[in-house]
Amino acid sequence: MRPIVQNDEIKDEIINDDDGIPLLARCAYEKNLDIETIQRPALRIIDAVSFRKDSAVKQIKENDPLMNHVKDLCDKNDKYQGAIAHRILWKVEEENEFISKQEQIKKQNQIKIKKNFDEKKAVYQYVPGDHHFDLTDQKNSEKFDLMISYYQDDKEICLKIYNRLIESDFYRVLFDKDNLHSSNPKIMAQAVEKSSVILMCFSTKYRNSYACRLEVEYAKKRQRPIIPIKIDHQYDPTGWLEEIIKNEKYIDFSKYEFTAMYAQLIDEIHVVNESINKK
């Protein structure tokens, strides 16, 4: 199972074979097949190939019995396949709709800000002695400077980084303590939208997690700056993760003393923030 879901060549063969995805689909949704040994593994492979090519997403989307099965699993919030089903549905249907909605909200906010800055209207809106101007009307909108993206098994070191950042009382940090992002892509996407910079704490398990991949690839699509943080001394970036990092330098918490690496992380956050402010 693992060689299939992690090997890009095998995934390409499945996608390019006319019977590849249709066969996997039948294995996933036909009720007479064993759930544990056939249905669940088939759905995990479909999840894996959906990350490989747009043509795979198209094939999945056009397979009505499969999509009905995926939506049924989402509705039931299936204990074993629910998270995978939500991820497939997100990539096939929901992600583009969500991004489109976010862009509409962004345009509306820009119009609102421009309107509030209209000097002619400001003259009539001014009240002597009242120097509070709520230009963006974001009283109910929570924003974060940083979001920590991590795999649940790596929580200990990531929580240590989070606590240190919070103790500084300088950063607003989003940290998914309850692992909600992996089970619900919409919650993950909402978190990314609220955050300015992503701290990607990568490891072998992070690399092998499609939930983590979905999160950081969404952040990349939404043009969020990503600061890579290495937390596994036995792992060097490969595959899709290597593509995300490319020539970026990463902060190595796995090899060097925590305080020294934390200082380096703060320096990098300042560099990234300066870059954002120049735009």
Question: pLDDT of 258-267, one tens digit each?
Answer: 999 999 999 9
Tokens representing 134 are 């709520």
Assess contact for 10 and 3: CB atoms under 8 A: yes
The predicted model scores a pTM of 0.86
**11: buried, middle or exposed (CB in 10 Å: 19+, 13-18, 0-12)?**
buried
Predicted local distance difference test score (pLDDT) of residue 142: 82
Element (H, E) at 212: helix 210-221
Return the amino acid letter for 53.
Answer: K
Tokens representing 151 are 């795999």
φ/ψ (deg, to 5) at 48:
-65, -45
Predicted local distance difference test score (pLDDT) of residue 79: 82
Give helix 8-16 / helix 40-49 axis angle, nearest 10°: 90
Q: What is the pLDDT along the chain (279 residues), one digit of tens a residue?
A: 556 667 888 999 999 999 999 999 999 999 999 999 999 999 999 999 999 989 999 999 999 999 999 999 999 988 889 999 999 999 999 999 999 999 998 888 777 766 665 554 554 444 444 333 333 333 345 899 999 999 999 999 999 999 999 999 899 999 999 988 988 999 999 999 999 999 999 999 999 999 999 999 999 999 999 999 999 999 999 999 999 998 788 999 999 999 999 999 999 999 999 988 876
φ/ψ (deg, to 5) at 85:
-60, -45
